[in-house]
Amino acid sequence: MVFQNKTDEIIKNIGKVIVGREKTIAYLMAAALAQGHVLIEDVPGTGKTKLARAFAASIDAEYSRIQFTPDLLPSDVTGLNIYNRKMDEFELRKGPVFTNILLADEINRATPRTQAGLLECMEERQVTIDGECYTLEFPFMVIATQNPLETSGTFPLPEAQLDRFMMKLSMGLPNREEELSIIERFMKDDPIKELRAVITKEELLLLRDALKDIYVHPVIEEYMVDIILGTRNQEKIVMGVSTRGTLALLRAVKAYAAIQGRAYVIPDDIKELAVPVLAHRLVLSYGYQKGKAAQELMMEIVGKISVPAEQFWGKV
């Protein structure tokens, strides 16, 4: 219950800034608790950065932001050793990656080299500068954004790197009412300035540890595996979800169940999270890679797999 209260508080807090995106916020929250990174993909101006900032502001944690450009170097992300003439030694100047929540804006604009530098940090949760390793503290979460429309001068993330994001979310455009309420909220000032942190790093750590107690019934495990296997051996899919994807899904659904205030995972969680967690991991065959094909395909696969419940029909 404590768990739900806390997460609800965060979600409500973020809701002050972002209108009508409760699901997305909840997914983001789940990713944060499950120690995953999130890629938000949407057209510009839908509030991707706003969401990341609001989320960072809700947690009493360090926050930094990198605007990715083609000339950005890996050392601009990780930091580098600088020779200090006074001390006559090399001194580490930490890059923006040494933080709790890192907003990587327009990640597909950087060169693959820089992208790779960041992605190593994401996966290993450590930074290597001049052969020396620096571990990143908990929480460490990358929220990357990218624009699916403008493709000229971009370096699309390779599949191997997409795989490192736990979820790929999209914001979507608000409807009429939402648009109106946004106008109202931003009438006077940016509400993000008024946001206060509602949870400390320590509390977040506790919540994370509490996830271990979330019960996953064996049939749920089987259901998950069935879905994963369903993405492999598919005509339209060149490469299905990897084992990393399986583990990501497991962690995500546990966190999501906790956010819903449950101590156990139900098939609904999996059905819901299958698209944000798994869809971006699919490598589609040539001819199918357009628009939201991956999401639709994922939904289709999930719809085909029978939900584990007692098969009561027609039998007494």
Which C-beta is closer to another protein: that of 150 or that of 222?
222
Indicate which single residue of 271, 283, 284, 293 sits in contact with another protein (rule: CB under 8 A). Answer: 271
Which residue, 24, 28, 21, 260, is CA-closest to 165?
Answer: 28
Helix (H, G, I), strand (E, B) or coil at 215: strand
Beta bridge partners of 128: 133
Cα gap 216→256, rounded to integer Å: 12
Is residue 243 a contact point for another protein (CB under 8 A)?
no
d(CA 32, CA 24): 12
Nearer to another protein, 73 or 229 (CB): 229
Stretch that binds another protein, among 81-89, 126-134, 216-224, 241-249 (CB under 8 A): 216-224
Distance CA 61, CA 57 (A): 8
- The distance of closest approach from Cβ of residue 257 to another protein in the complex, given in angstroms and rounded to an integer, is 9
Distance, CA of 171 to CA of 248 (rounded, Å)? 21
Of 101, 267, 280, 294, which one interacts with another protein (CB under 8 A)?
Answer: 267
Residue 244, token pair as written in the block: 């990393």
* Tokens encoding 247: 């583990």
C-beta separation of 76 from 37 below 8 A? no
Size of the site for another protein (CB under 8 A): 28
Which amino acid type is present at position 194? E
Site for another protein in 217-236 (CB under 8 A): 217-220, 222
Query: Which residues, numbered 276-315, are part of the site for another protein (CB under 8 A)?
Result: 302-314
The binder of another protein chosen from 268, 283, 284, 293 (CB under 8 A): 268
Which residues inside 46-85 make contact with another protein, applying CB under 8 A? Answer: none
Q: Which amino acid is at 89?
A: E
**Both structure tokens of 24:** 């997305």
Q: What character string, x for contact with another protein (CB under 8 A) and - otherwise, covers 153-182?
A: ------------------------------
Block residue for tokens 């019934």: 217
Tell me how far, at minimum, the Cβ of 265 lies from another protein, in Å: 7
Q: By CB under 8 A, which span of 17-25, 98-106, 198-206, 260-268 interacts with another protein?
A: 260-268
- The length of the chain is 316
From the list 82-90, 98-106, 155-163, 259-267, the region that binds another protein by CB under 8 A is: 259-267
Q: How far is the CB of 311 from another protein (least distance, A)?
A: 7
Q: From the list 2, 82, 160, 263, which residue makes contact with another protein (rule: CB under 8 A)?
A: 263
Q: Is 218 or 287 the residue whose CB approaches another protein more closely?
A: 218
284 and 238 Cβ atoms separated by less than 8 Å: yes
Regarding 262 and contact with another protein (CB under 8 A), the answer is yes
User: In the complex with another protein, which residue's Cβ is closer, 157 or 274?
Assistant: 274
Whole-number Cα distances in Å, 160 to 112, 163, 172, 208: 12, 5, 26, 26
Question: Should residue 1 be labelled a site residue for another protein when binding is judged by CB under 8 A?
Answer: no
- Which of 154, 260 has the CB closer to another protein? 260
Of positions 166, 265, 277, 297, contacts another protein by CB under 8 A: 265
Q: Strand locations in the chain, DSSP E?
A: 38-41, 59-60, 63-67, 79-84, 89-94, 101-105, 126-129, 132-135, 141-146, 167-169, 199-200, 237-239, 283-284
Residues of this chain that bind another protein (CB under 8 A): 215, 217-220, 222, 262-268, 271, 302-314, 316
